[in-house]
Each structure stands twice: as C-alpha cells, then as structure tokens.
Amino acid sequence: MSEDRPQRDEITAKAASTLAKALPTLEKQHAFVGFDGFIDVIMRVVDRRRTMVYEDYEPIRTIEAFAKRAATAAGRSANMELVTLERRFGGNGPLLAGALGRLGLSANYVGAVGCQDDHCRLDPLFEPFAQRCTSVTPIAPPCITEACEFEDGKLMFGHSANASQITWERIKQVVGLDRLREMIDDASLIGMVNWTIVGGLEGIWRGLCDEVFPQLSDRRRRIFIDLSDPAKRTDSDLGRGLGLISEMSTAIPVTLGLNLAESQRIALVLGVEPAHSGETPGTGGEVTRAAAAIRASLGIDRVVIHRRDGAGASEKSDHAAWFDGPFTRNPLLSTGAGDHFNAGFAAAEQIGLGLEECLAMACATSGLYVREGHSLTGARVASFLEALPTPER
C-alpha cells in the first residue's frame, strides 16, 4: 500500500494548510507529559585517526561495521575510542514534550529532570527544555544514555538506576494529587512514554485510573503512549502493561505509537500477524495490517507504526493508511527521531487532522528533525510539508 504522488501531494497540502491555520491558537492546546528524563551523550566510534586532534578522525560508519569490529575481539580484547559530539537533555518524555512545545502547544512536564543533590531542582542541562514548556516539575534525577550514532542507525547504552525513583507515590508527594488532577484536567493531550525503563509506570497508570481519571471534567482528551523498545522486558510484563493500556482506553481514547521492531514484539505477544522487516520500501501493506490487528486486539482507538521510510496507522473505524515519509540516506541526527514523529502525530491529532494527514505531519516533523538536528517550530514544519521531499530510495 503506497499513495501515488498526486495523492501524497494532496495529503501534505491539506496537512500544511491546517497546521498553518492552527498556529495562532496552538498554545491553547495543553499537553501533560511524563515521566522519564535522560542526559543523552551523543557519540561516534573512531575507526582510525587522521591526527591526534580530538575531532580529527574517521568514524565507524555503520552498525554492521561496528559489529564486525566488536566480533574480532572475541577471545581477545579491543579498545574502542568514543568521541563525544554533544551532551543534551533527553529521555522520551522530555524529547516529546520539548518537541510539542516547539511546535506551539502548551506543554507541562513532570519527570526525572532534577539535580543529583536536589531532586526537586531542575538540572541545568534541562534549562533549554524548560524554556520550551509552560511548566516543568522535577521529581527525580535523570538517567544517562550514551548514544553511538551511525549512518544506518544508532546504538544506545543506558544507565537507568535513577528510573527506579519514578513512582506514583513520588509524584503524589512532590506534585500533590490536587495539583496533578488540575494539570491533567486542563490537558487535551496526555503523553506517557518509556514504559520499558520506568518500572513504576504501571503503578502510575493504575494511580491515574483510580485516583485521577474518574475526577476529570467532561472534555475531549487523548492519551498518547510509546512503550519505548520493550525488547528487554518479558512477555508476561508486556502483556500486563498492554492490559493496563486497554483499561485506560475505556476512560480516554488511546493512541499507541510503535516503531517496526516494537510492533513485531507486541504482535507476537498478542498472537497476531506481525509486519516483517524485509518489505520493499515505499509499500506499507504489512504495516497497516499489523497496526489494525494490534489495535483490534487491544481494543484501543489508534495504533501507529513508523519505519525509516514511512508510517502506517489504523483507527477504530477500521480505516487504515500508509504514508511515504521524506526518507534521507544521510541524517544529521537520528537520536530522538521517533520522539519527534510522536510529537508530530500527537499534535496533528490535536488540531483535528485525519489519519493520512496525521501520518504526513508526523513524518515531516521527524524528517525535518533528522535533517537539521533540532526541534522545529510549527511554522517551519508547515513550510516543509508544503514541499515535502520525495523519499531517497
């Protein structure tokens, strides 16, 4: 399933026009996002040095080449030199909330963005993030991710001990239940991400279902969830977490965002047919069928699955769609691309775009981010949509 060029142009034009018209009032769309926080150390792996000047080297360009280099060390040893390009705020939650804020929404964040010696004081590295948000409430110190960038993807090595401090009781202690209810009651978008690392997230979901959602006023809301690479969690863990997502959807419509690998794992746990990795770029039939099967099994409102070359989604009306994204072979930065896809899709839902246009805006937000290496404004995304590049095959 792949849209032809005239259809793609029609979709992008509609998305661009709707976004441009919505820009003056986007700040009236309030988002509540939580709960993780990471400091991302962006690195490259040295292949060989040209000189001993720190920045003068040839990097290992692909994950496959890195894997071969590592494999040759079996039974011996190897010294891999890492060059740090940047230290920046990260975590799925801050990247999602920061991207939403840059797009123009009013983002309120609660999560692990505090100092090591004072968990309720914002870590200075998160100051640029806080400037994009309406409010930021630290509840714990951040974790650390060392992200090795390659031309064909990235390898992320996480130090996640601080995530154990992210719990329902901690949130109630720092934020207060009344204030938390006010923030969520004011939100039309509730974003909750990184179930994989945040072991306390299921307790948070249970707390929200029991102590917050029944108290909310009657207004349009949507939950956006990204589990964030559940490969390391057991099938029983994943099944239990998915069950809670289904339960939440009975109170508030849920959109579940997945990448291809995540969708394959969830499909296997649910016992439905997964999308396979080897499908021809530019065709999304397997992706949309997998999204529909996962959505139906969970009984939730929407499932969206993104690949590097595009994305597919299914919604409760049994409508499904695929969109060819503006794939580039040479991204400037890939860490955070999925979070920006999520931000684009969630923001598109907030301004009332249809499924095809939501996919277009999500792919444009992510595609622009990987080209320019930072979050973009809603106006910039709208202009990018107006002349969306064709995919580089």
Q: Which residues pair with 138 in a beta bridge?
A: 111
The pLDDT of residue 6 is 77
Largest CA distance in the chain: 64
Q: How far apart, in whole angstroms, are the C-alpha atoms of residue 58 and residue 44?
A: 10
Q: How far apart, in whole angstroms, are the C-alpha atoms of residue 359 and residue 176?
A: 36
Residue 363 lies in a domain: yes
% of the chain at pLDDT higher than 90 = 90
Which range, of 125-134, 152-161, 255-264, 344-353, averages the lowest pLDDT?
152-161
Which range, of 104-108, 109-113, 207-211, 273-277, averages the lowest pLDDT?
273-277
Calculate mean pLDDT across residues 329-345. Answer: 92
**Surface-to-core class of residue 165, CB atoms within 10 Å of its CB (0-12 exposed, 13-18 middle, 19+ buried):** middle
The pLDDT of residue 20 is 98
**Residues of the domain holding 102:** 5-35+90-144+161-386
**Cβ-contact 292, 314 below 8 angstroms:** yes
The whole-model pTM stands at: 0.89
Q: Is 194 helix (H, G, I), strand (E, B) or coil?
A: coil
- For the stretch 2-55, pLDDT in tens is 556 779 999 999 999 999 999 999 999 999 999 999 998 999 999 999 999 999
- For the stretch 180-201, pLDDT in tens is 999 999 999 999 999 999 999 9
Which pairs from 62-70 meet CB under 8 Å and 24+ separation? 62/150, 62/151, 62/152, 63/150, 63/152, 63/153, 63/155, 64/152, 66/148, 66/150, 66/155
Tokens of 74: 């079996």
Angle between the N-to-C axes of helices 355-372 and 5-22, in degrees from 0 to 180, rounded to the nearest 10: 80
Alpha helices in 212-254 (DSSP H): 235-249
The pLDDT of residue 1 is 46
**Cβ-contact 291, 323 below 8 angstroms:** no
In 106-226, which ranges are E strands?
106-111, 135-138, 143-150, 153-159, 189-193, 222-226
Work out the mean pLDDT of the chain and round it to a whole number. 94
In the chain, which ranges are E strands?
30-34, 38-49, 57-59, 82-90, 106-111, 135-138, 143-150, 153-159, 189-193, 222-226, 254-259, 302-306, 310-315, 320-324
Q: What is the CATH number of the domain that holds 244?
A: 3.40.1190.20
Residue 67 lies in a domain: no
Residue from 165, 167, 209 nearest 184 by CA: 209
Residue 276, pLDDT > 50, answer: yes
Residue 176 lies in a domain: yes
Residue 340 lies in a domain: yes
The distance of Cα 107 from the centroid of its chain, to the nearest Å, equals 15
Residue 150 lies in a domain: no
Residue 62, pLDDT > 70, answer: yes
Neighbours of 116 (CB within 10 A): 11
Taking CA atoms, 297 is separated from 198, 293, 316, in Å, by: 24, 6, 11
Residue 85 lies in a domain: no
Calculate mean pLDDT across residues 94-105. Answer: 98
Q: Is 59 helix (H, G, I), strand (E, B) or coil?
A: strand
- For the stretch 277-325, pLDDT in tens is 655 554 688 999 999 999 999 999 999 999 999 999 999 999 999 999 9
223: CB partners within 8 A, 6+ apart? 190, 191, 192, 248, 249, 252, 253, 254, 255
Residue 335 lies in a domain: yes
Residue 156 lies in a domain: no
Q: How far apart, in whole angstroms, are the C-alpha atoms of residue 170 and residue 149?
A: 34
Residue 253, pLDDT > 50, answer: yes
Based on the structure, what is the number of domains in the chain? Answer: 1
Residue from 174, 236, 228, 173 nearest 201 by CA: 228
Measured in Å, how far apart are the chain's first and last C-alpha atoms? 16
Taking CA atoms, 357 is separated from 7, 9, 94, 117, in Å, by: 11, 11, 25, 45
- For the stretch 197-248, pLDDT in tens is 999 999 999 999 999 999 999 999 999 999 999 999 999 999 999 999 999 9
Neighbours of 256 (CB within 10 A): 26
DSSP at 353: -
Q: How far apart, in whole angstroms, are the C-alpha atoms of residue 205 and residue 192?
A: 9
Q: How far apart, in whole angstroms, are the C-alpha atoms of residue 57 and residue 51?
A: 7
The distance of Cα 250 from the centroid of its chain, to the nearest Å, equals 23
